[in-house]
Amino acid sequence: MTEFQQKLENKKVLVTGGAGFIGSNLCETLINLNTKVVCLDNFATGHRHNLDAIKDNENFQLIEGDIRNLETCHKACKNVDYVLHEAALGSVPRSLADPITSNEVNISGFLNMLVAARDAGVKRFVYAASSSTYGDSEKLPKVEDEIGKPLSPYAITKYVNELYADIFQDAYKLDTIGLRYFNVFGRKQDPNGAYAAVIPKFVMKFMNHESPVINGDGTYSRDFTYIDNVLQMNLLALTTDNADAINEVYNTAVGERTNLVELTKLLKKHLSEFDPEIAKVEVKHGPKRAGDIPHSLASVEKAENLLGYDASHRIDEGLKEAIAWYWGNLKP
């Protein structure tokens, strides 16, 4: 029995946004640890098929509802030990196109969940924060206590989440931990839609022998983080006994950056193992995207020191696993 299983077996964990990319991976991981899981999702961006592997498990409960409804949040938090709050409207471009809805979900919905967790006596509230909080700070690597001015409505909402979490600890003694995700990728990530993430979007383009379009000259870089690293961070945040680790925010990343030109080369390399013709597909370039930060690179020293984090997958290892999954599940 693993340490995680010892601490989480027969505990009850609520995963909001549990039908989404990260949320569904968390639900499945927890079920495999013999944890009781409640999934709350309104299926605005999540998918029912993400839950196929666990939907009939006796330890799994699905609540279809919206975090913008406080009564729903109270229902979901009833008798729950821990909350993993993943529900949000992601995407910088989406928030620029519709800042009001992003604010309602990401701030009002977040506050509803904090209130419901407080009222239910939840032991710990772990939430998805974002690297977008670093804003216009040019310092690399990004260190948790040094942020800049937000560059999008989405970034503002995720920063406000951190401020609210801090207040709820001070005022109500609700233990919180925020995980600032850096460009997460991997199995179950949706390649479709206007706001699809770059890796699954490019993978689908290559598999269709179509040219992906890089915004700008391709020198912008990101700390691409494989889903298994994110799962590890969430489990560590849920189970840590280190008092100094509670009520903090942590970069959830690898600590290495890859620019978009390098990324497309890696994608072509791994995809060409399945289809050699993909090596011939050219990449196109378009205009820069509003609200994008040029470079993102995390320091993971704080997570290593306080949580015992040890990234299991670098970019190349993660892409190899992710592409095998994409090919087996998303190939047209």
Active site amino acids: 154
* Residue 8, H or E segment: helix 3-8
153: phi > 0 → left, psi -120 to 50 → alpha, else beta; which? alpha
CA 59 to chain centre: 23
Tokens 């701030």 locate to 107
Please answer whether residues 183 and 130 qualify as being in contact, where contact means their C-beta atoms are separated by less than 8 angstroms: no
DSSP letter (8 states) at residue 288 = P
Using DSSP's 3-state secondary structure scheme, residue 179 falls into strand
Maximal C-alpha separation, the chain: 59
d(CA 232, CA 240): 12
Residue 15 to residue 296: CA distance in whole angstroms: 27
In contact, 166 and 115? CB cutoff 8 Å: no
Our CA dihedral for 193, 195, 198, 201, rounded to 10 degrees, sits at 0
Q: Which residue's structure tokens are 């399945």?
A: 274
Strand partners, 226: 185
